[in-house]
Amino acid sequence: MPDPWRDLTDPRRAAHTEDLEAGLKEPVFENLAIPEQFGPVTITVDDHKIKRFAFTQNDYNPWTLQESPFDGRRIGHACLLGNDLLQLFTLVYAGSRTVGFHTEEQMWFDSPVFLGEKVTLSGSYVEAYERRGQGYVIMEAQAIGEDGRSIIRHRGVEILRTVPGAIAGRGSGTPDRKVTGEVPADARKVDRIEAGVRTGDVLAPLDKVITAEQAAVFSRIGEFVRNIHSDYTVARQGALRMPIVQGQQQVGVIGEYLTQAFGQHWLTRGWMRIKFINTLEVFEPISVQALVTDVTRSPEGTKVELDVWVRRRSDDKLTAVGWASCTVPSGPATRAGGNSPRS
């Protein structure tokens, strides 16, 4: 039996199959079944998968290409499997007929994934509800390593079908502490989360541009999936001027940023909850930044909590806001390398 493919679906089927999405359900709220299971499906984290993700994020961390602090083995990026978990629903629903809007993403990082590892993904729809005329669905999913350990856990909220260009900018109805993206004038600027970190510190920003090619590859054009992120025509049908960057791709940028901040500990103790409040077009420059909101020290280590946000540099509007935390054990951490400039 051949080894598992690196993606949710094997695009080589196209040579022998007329319709790759034949028999899949129409992705509309009315077709939901709660609960509804997806998977399990096994994929291989091969060299191509890691390098492809590095291209989509412009994140060439040497831990993913050479060796890491985890016994010297090559690992995948923190958010490498995030889109696989988010897209598990397309095993049942037609991905190329999905015109949805990812409104919230929550991730727990339990352990790194290693080069060559076969990972089992599974998830389920656990809740559905309607709000302001839109139908929402919540998925919970997990990636499990070959040895049974948890690698990453995911909880996502999605509007299954909508007009993305019409709802962007409406904000969130969840009464959480508001993330403003404002930095106090007297804030101490730091590059890393070190032992002396204190409440009110602000991390130096990370600047990025996601191109159309990067967005299309991230959003599964290699599996022949057409959507508002990979196809100009589909984007226009969703009342968008241009293809937009997946919220999950922005999460990958935040994952890079926080890996740089916390070092190896982010991959074993990190958590983030991100809300998407505005669309981000391809080629639009962005800046990611975070503010330390709480520091709790204990014999086990130091728990650091942050507000984090993504800002469009052209008009200063926020596209994503959220919260993150990581507990750093006593002792030094190995810091992640990379080629992405901070300013």
Over range 27-47, report the average pLDDT: 95
DSSP states of 32-96: --SSEEEEEEEEE--HHHHHHHHHHHT---HHHHT--TTTT--B--TTTTHHHHHGGGGGTB-GG
The whole-angstrom separation of Cα 308 and Cα 288 is 7
* Count of C-beta atoms within a 10 Å radius of residue 253: 23
CATH of domain 11-163+179-328: 3.10.129.10
Q: What is the DSSP letter of 330?
A: S
Which element (helix H / strand E) includes 119? strand 118-131
With bands split at pLDDT 50, 70 and 90, how would you rate the model's confidence at 101?
confident
Which ranges of 191-231 would DSSP assign to H, the alpha helix? 212-218
pLDDT of 174: 46
Q: Which residue has the higher pLDDT, 333 or 58?
A: 58
Q: 153-162, 174-183, 304-313 — which is least confidently predicted? A: 174-183
- Point out which residues pair with 37 in neighbouring strands: 124
pLDDT of residue 332: 58
Question: pLDDT tens-digit profile of 200-219?
Answer: 999 999 999 999 999 999 99
pLDDT digits (tens, 9 = 90+) for 254-263: 999 999 999 9
What pLDDT score was predicted for residue 335?
66
Its pTM stands at 0.92
pLDDT score, position 343: 32
